[in-house]
Structure 1
Amino acid sequence: MLYPWQEPVWQNWQQLLRQGRLHHAILLVAPGGSGREALAKQLAKTVLCQQSETEPCGLCHGCQLFAAGTHPDFHAVAPVQAGKQIGVDAIRQCNRWATETSQLAGQRVIMIDPADHMGESAANALLKTLEEPPSGCQFILLAHSLDRLLPTITSRCNQWRLPTPDESQTQRWVEQQLMQSVKREAIRLNSGSPLATVAFIEQGQDIRYGKLLAAFSEFAKPPHLGLYEVAGLCTAEGSISLKWLSYFLVDCIKLQQGAGSHLIHCESVGLVQAVAGQLSPAVLLRQVHQVNALQRQLETHPGLNEELLIVNWLTGFMPA
């Protein structure tokens, strides 16, 4: 299933397929929560379809095998563990698949997701195959951004960027999926991503975030009561809660600097105003830098005492 915001890219790919001009290595750059895997698999299924050049027929043997997840000529490569790198051994296996004969006498497709999580050795191992592509092998690389990809990889791929729908379009789509009204700030908290916003609400994160925001705004007032309540809410939610508080504190800084029309918390302006009025610009700036560093630390080293570190950060809002 394709999503509405993917149609322009898909139509371009269909035209290239129709003309026999689809590049052997497609690089799709898209944020998480954009449904990029669905678009990539639509392309893979089309390339492997035995009846149609521009749209999977859904009826042929290839389409049926793909739907069952057992197509012998489709290979998906991902990190062994979420957030980890794709190792060089996995890419060497890709190179072997690329040179093998198709088991269904058609094309082979290799999808790497996320390609920007390849280590340098893995990327270099892939490079030669992209430079001298075997006949009948289609590579599809997915990435969050180009920042972590070697220029030598990106230069050998045909790059496509999946546009994020505008806020109004996202709000309409999310509301249609959930059959309820959705706050703009829920969309902004999820960087405008439709699928991430749906998950945010379906998993009840919007409710827990509201509780965290209320508890933090009370803690920000002298005499700064409720420190352990805020720390407990953060610990229960995980490091994403620190990202939420970072967004909130940045909004406080924006309000102090007169940029109140660009807030993420457009429906919680009262809470932003209350906290911005209690904390100095110096404290806010320092705490934003520290909470961003803390979030990275907890994501990189998951065995740390999370609650203790969060309590230590929260004490930075209290007078010495």
Structure 2
Amino acid sequence: MIYPWQQTLWHNWQQLLEQRRLHHAILLLAAKGSGRGVLARQLSKTVLCQNSQVEPCDVCHSCKLFDAENHPDFHVIKPEQDGKQIGVDAVRQCNRWAVETSHLNGQRVILIEHADALGEAGANAILKTLEEPPAGCQFILTAQSLDRLLPTVVSRCNKWRLNPPDEANVKNWVESQLQQSILLESVRLNNGAPLATLAFIESGLDIRYGHLVTAFTAFVQPPHIGIYDVAAMCSADGIVTLQLLSYFLVDCLKWQQGVTQYLVHQESLPAVEAIAATIPTALLLEQIRNINNLHRQLAKHTGLNIELLVVEWLTGFIGK
């Protein structure tokens, strides 16, 4: 079942399916946490369905195999780990799947998740197949944006962008799922992505992050007490907290510049005001750059001691 904010795009695809005009290579561009994988699989299941042309029937042999994640004509490749490229060997396997005979005498679907993780070698390996796919082979690619996709791959696909829902609708949807009210800043901290916002709250990260903001705000005020407590809170959930804290500092910088119309930390304005009044603009800019650099460093080198490096970053607020 697809999500409410996907309905418009899905109806467009259904029209093309009904008219048998769906492009052989679909590229779905959607933000992380938008449920793009669900939408891509809905299309895959529909293409493979033996009874319906525009909607999975859920009762045919193909649909049952798909639901059991055991469909012989549905193939998926994706990075083995977050941040890693899709290997050339996996792409070559795609090319072999593309020319296979269907096991169920129907269509074949190849889903490439995180297609923006296709390196140059991988992209070059699949270009010809994307341009001239064998009959009965449907390619579906998903990606977060065009930024990291090679133009040669993009040019061979039919591009579709899943627009994010209005943040008020996201807030209402998450609240309906949880049966509780949530903060608007939880939506904004997750870039308006509904599923990311839902996971953020279900995991309790919203509460832990709120405690961090309170502790961090107290720490930056002289005499700067609690540096190790703040560092421990920063590292408890991995590097994601550093990114959230950088959003907080950017809000503080905006407040200093008189930009108060759209702040991520809508419900934490007292903390934003306190930091903006305490830290000089030059130091705030420097520490924003430093925390972003630290985030990139830790994302690239996963074996580093996060807490120790956060302590080093926090000392930048002391005695300046």
When the two structures are superposed, what TM-score results if normalisation uses the length of structure 1? 0.99
**Alpha-carbon distance in 1 for matches of 2:251, 2:82:** 30
2: distance between equivalents of 1:42 and 1:235?
37
The one-letter code sitting in structure 1 at the alignment partner of 2:255 is: L
Q: Could you give the per-residue CA deviations for residues 128-178 of structure 1, whole angstroms, max 9, x where no partner exists?
A: 101111110000000011111100000110000001000111011000000
Q: Deviations over 1:207-240 (max 9, x none)?
A: 1001100110001101111111111111212111
Find the counterpart in structure 2 of residue 260 from structure 1.
260
2:147 — aligned with what? 147
Alignment-derived partner of residue 205 in structure 1: 205
Residue in 2 aligned with 1:121? 121
1:20 equivalenced with 2:23 (yes/no) = no
Question: In the alignment, residue 168 of structure 1 is paired with which amino acid?
Answer: A
How far apart are residue 82 of structure 1 and its match?
2.6
- 1:118 to partner: Cα distance: 1.1
Partner of 2:52: 52
Partners of 1:73 and 1:131 in 2: CA distance: 20
Shift of 1:34: 0.3
Matches of 1:195 and 1:80 in 2, distance apart? 22
Provide Cα deviations, 1:36-63, integer angstroms capped at 9, x if missing partner.
Answer: 1110001000000001110111111111
In structure 2, the partner of 1:95 is: 95
- 1:142 aligned counterpart, secondary structure: strand
- The answer for unaligned runs of 5 or more in structure 2 is none
Partner in structure 1 of residue 178 of structure 2: 178
Q: Which amino acid aligns with 2:188?
A: R
2:248, 2:41 → 1: CA distance?
37
Shift of 1:305: 1.8
Q: Distance in 2 between matches of 1:257 and 1:80?
A: 43
Select between 73-82 and 149-158 the one with higher mean Cα deviation.
73-82
C-alpha distance in structure 1 between counterparts of 2:78 and 2:268, whole Å: 39
* Residues 18-44 of structure 1, C-alpha deviations (whole Å, 9 max, x = no match): 011000000000011101111000100
Note the 1:190-269 alignment, pairs <5 A.
Answer: 190-269=190-269
Amino acid at match of 1:302: T
The whole-number CA distance in structure 2 between the counterparts of 1:308 and 1:170 is 37
Aligned to 1:160: 160
- For residue 83 of structure 1, report the CA deviation from its aligned partner: 2.4
Q: Matches of 2:307 and 2:98 in 1, distance apart?
A: 47
Letter in 1 for 2:181: S
**TM-score, with structure 2 as normaliser:** 0.99
Superposed displacement of residue 123, structure 1: 0.8
The Cα RMSD (Å) is 0.7
Moved over 3 A (4+): none
Map residues 265-284 of structure 1 onto 2, 5 A cutoff: 265-284=265-284
Unaligned runs of at least 5 residues, structure 1: none
Q: Which amino acid aligns with 2:59?
A: L
Number of residue pairs aligned between Structure 1 and Structure 2: 320
**In structure 2, how many angstroms separate the alpha carbons of the residues matched to 1:152 and 1:86?**
16
Aligned to 1:169: 169
1:309 aligns with 309
Residue 10 of structure 1 pairs with residue 13 of structure 2? no
Amino acid at match of 1:96: R
Letter in 2 for 1:9: L
Opposite residue 37 of structure 1, the aligned amino acid is G
* CA distance in structure 2 between the aligned counterparts of 1:180 and 1:201, rounded to whole angstroms: 11
The sequence identity of aligned pairs, in percent, is 62
Structure 2 counterpart SS, 1:251: helix
